[in-house]
Chains A and B, each alone.
Chain A
């Protein structure tokens, strides 16, 4: 799916690439949790790498490395930098 703004989801960022969080979708509880962890709109996030078997991903947000699954990363919309 091509986004009119050129935004992609976090899992679509190329490993090593940065993006700015623009929005989140999905169940309220999960969105709330991801935002508690720092993925609020405007934050710079990096897709560091993915696990040897392709899932989960390692992301870097506000100086912290987190591991989240692809399915959840797909709910975070970012503008690639």
Chain B
């Protein structure tokens, strides 16, 4: 642990009122004092890293294991790399990630089409369930969308 004042234990009254029972995280935590050894704890072996992993800049090094589900790629990957230059405290981290997620959806569609697979939106969205258990709700939604569509088209035509 880094401490600025080596003599802190000589400060009058130091630690006098400390109450080990007053642990706000109890009962979740079994307080052992290990926190004061900071990040100097025993660790597992390193997981070999052969794909790109974006690491939080609030850490000094990689965790010993990590997931490798979908490495960053394409335009969304570039946005994600930018996001990871900023800490978890910043909107500059989270907003780009949300944006990258949306871009990623289009990349997914392009990839689908590229491999000759036309996604079945009705099936992917589970709309059969709405049809079965919430037919009026679904029809209402569809009708509202249709009305908005018609109004928009009419408005655009008028503007031209």
Question: Do A and B share a complex?
Answer: no
